[in-house]
């Protein structure tokens, strides 16, 4: 299984090295491996987790909920329903936010069109 240095994991995930250390410290990332010299080595599984965390963070999930999701995964298959419910609640919030952003975007574009007509009358 290939291993990735922290800098490569940061590059691939889009997180800073500080964020990777923070995620490990709070238990979001579970037991990142180490070389015999004590340097952290990230696996493909770690990168998969980081990509999921990138999605959740980019869509506004609070860290506490991300930690809860990770805990549930580690607890085992009997938590599948709770994990799904957590993700569905988050998806609902994301959808609401998307609708709000679309309405605000439409309002913004209308205002820009109004200015465009003032600057360049037809």
Which tens digit of pLDDT belongs to each residue from 15-70? 999 999 999 999 999 889 998 888 999 999 999 999 999 999 999 999 999 999 99
Q: How far apart are CA 61 and CA 93, in angstroms?
A: 9
Q: What percent of the chain has pLDDT over 90?
A: 88
Secondary-structure percent of the chain, ordered helix, strand, coil, rounded to 5: 70, 5, 25
Q: How many domains does the chain have?
A: 1
CATH value at residue 59: 1.10.1660.10
Structural domain harbouring 101: 6-119
19-53 per-residue burial string, b: 16 or more CB within 10 A, e: under 16: bbbebbeeebbeebeeeeeeebbbeeebbebbeeb
Can you give the pLDDT at residue 120?
77
Which tens digit of pLDDT belongs to each residue from 77-118? 999 999 999 999 999 999 999 999 999 999 999 999 999 988
């Amino acid at each position: 299984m290939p291993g990735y240095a922290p800098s490569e994991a940061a590059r691939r995930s889009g997180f800073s090295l500080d964020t990777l250390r923070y995620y490990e410290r709070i238990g979001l990332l579970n037991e990142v491996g180490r070389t015999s010299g004590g340097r952290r080595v990230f696996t493909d599984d770690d990168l998969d987790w980081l990509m999921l965390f990138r999605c959740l963070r980019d869509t506004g999930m609070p860290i506490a909920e991300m930690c809860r999701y990770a805990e549930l995964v580690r607890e085992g298959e009997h938590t599948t329903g709770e994990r799904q419910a957590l993700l569905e609640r988050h998806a609902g919030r994301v959808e609401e936010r998307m609708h709000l952003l679309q309405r605000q975007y439409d309002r913004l574009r209308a205002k820009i069109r109004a200015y465009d007509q003032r600057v360049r009358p037809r």
